[in-house]
Structure 1
Amino acid sequence: MDRGGIRRRLAVGLALLTASGVLAVAVPAQAHAAAPTRCEGRKVKTYPFSTGTLYVYKRGGHVCVITLSKRPGREQWMKASVQAYRARAVTDEGKSTRRAGPVTVHAGQRCVWVKGRVGRGSVSKGWILC
């Protein structure tokens, strides 16, 4: 084998090693960036209230809710909550500038109770999606 063949193989090997290193660093960053910022499935209900809107999505037996502020940018107390019948509520609450949630429960065919809050405004819907 001549020196040209060895150099080409080394260059290809180095290129593959570099590409795999870049992917190893980039993929976790993309996975972190792709953390859920919205609900999966189709939107089944929208509940506007004085300071925000609560969106309800359904996919298979899962129900997901997200609360969005009408005036994003100002930090205020926000909450998104969903509870399947005869189960504990799953809640995301705290200070935020834009949204609370998404929060998801497996409801199967059970009814769910959804709640949303932005600042002093809130919405709470009784048993829905029965």
Structure 2
Amino acid sequence: MDSGAIRRRLAVGLAVLTASGLIAVAAPTQAQAADATRCEGRKVRTYPFPTGTLYVYRKQGHVCAIVLPRRPGREQTMTVSVQAYRAMRVTDEGQYTRRAGPVTVHAGQRCVWVKGRVGSGSVSKGWILC
């Protein structure tokens, strides 16, 4: 093999190595961006209702809620809210096609009240996770 062929093979190998390194660096960033639209933690409650489902998650004293419609794709009014006992309610309300939320509160060991609405259907749970 002549020196020109060796250089070409080294250049191709270096290019492949550089590209794989860039992909490895970019992949976690894309995964974090996708996770920002979902709640972190362990799913602790699921509340189905006629037009959707309310999901409640908990992680290290934080409670997060998200509402998914039964029929995603068309724009409709959706609301999700979480309120820790003796604290302000956090709400996400608007015209969405796929989900409302996530909304997160720091509850510590306090009870929380969660509500969800999709179109004309809704669910409201009393003080939970006490």
> Which TM-score bucket, shorter chain as reference?
0.7 to 0.9
Provide the residue aligned with 1:14 in structure 2: none
Give the counterpart letter for 1:63 in structure 2. V
Q: Specify whether residues 25 and 64 from structure 1 end up closer, same or farther in structure 2 by C-alpha distance, changes over 3 A only.
A: closer
RMSD: 2.7
Q: Specify whether residues 107 and 97 from structure 1 end up closer, same or farther in structure 2 by C-alpha distance, changes over 3 A only.
A: same
Gaps of 5+ in 2: 1-21
* 1:1-130 → structure 2 map (5 Å cutoff): 32=33, 34=34, 36-130=36-130
Aligned length in residues: 128
After the TM superposition, which parts of structure 1 deviate over 3 Å for at least 4 consecutive aligned residues? 21-32
Q: Distance in 2 between matches of 1:60 and 1:25?
A: 28
Q: Specify whether residues 129 and 24 from structure 1 end up closer, same or farther in structure 2 by C-alpha distance, changes over 3 A only.
A: closer
TM-score normalised per structure 1: 0.76
Q: Distance in 2 between matches of 1:47 and 1:118?
A: 13
Give the counterpart letter for 2:116 in structure 1. G
Gaps of 5+ in 1: 1-20
C-alpha deviations, 1:70-107, integer Å up to 9, x for none?
00001000011000001111111100011000111000
Q: Distance in 2 between matches of 1:73 and 1:56?
A: 22
TM-score normalised per structure 2: 0.76
Q: Specify whether residues 69 and 87 from structure 1 end up closer, same or farther in structure 2 by C-alpha distance, changes over 3 A only.
A: same
